[in-house]
Amino acid sequence: MLAMWGAPPPERLAWHGLGRAPMADRVERIEGGRSHGAWLRLSCSLSLQPPGPAGWHTAAALLRLVEPGHRLPEGRAEHRLVEVIEAHAARLDWPAVLLASDPRALRSTAVTLGHPLTTFVALAKASGSVWLRARTPRLSALQCPRVDAGSSSEAARAYWEQLLWFPDGLPSTLLQPAFQDARRRRAVERATA
């Protein structure tokens, strides 16, 4: 009716990419894709209060999250972190290209994996809305985590998050690297105890 009086027609944006049903009307979901694909939320967090590591934004501190016993100086830690991220990305054997999204967009619909190294792979190889397996890792994406101030009873936390869309569903090998890392850490803890 308003269009007859010269008003612009109501806008409706629809996206039909990747052979999926539309994503439209400011809704952050892909209707038809749930049966074919899945979002994966990768996350890692740490306390900013003691005993949390000081200087968590440096490559040496980030490497300490994935290799707790290292004593490398900053320059060598940066190279080592890139090597560790590349090696882990190769073990994950994810598709060459995945969609990436803002983690705040899909709080309840994504499967969550809280594994620091896999989270670092997701962040370091993503740019905008695309994750590329062949991309050289960007450590700058890791050195600027989000900070949650916490409440009076909770400590402030730094956290890293990334959402990735797997069009063929989550890979069956997704948890293997996390389990291998947990076994290695337990073995190190037992050996040092």
| DSSP assignment letter at 7 | P
Q: Give the closest residue to 81 by CA, choosing from 129, 54, 128, 116.
A: 116
Over residues 177-183, the mean pLDDT reads 73
The answer, yes or no, to whether residue 167 has pLDDT greater than 60, is: yes
Tokens 């090597």 locate to 83
> Residue 189 has what pLDDT?
76
Over residues 22-26, the mean pLDDT reads 42
pTM score, whole prediction: 0.72
Over residues 15-40, the mean pLDDT reads 50
| DSSP assignment letter at 144 | S
The answer, yes or no, to whether residue 152 has pLDDT greater than 50, is: yes
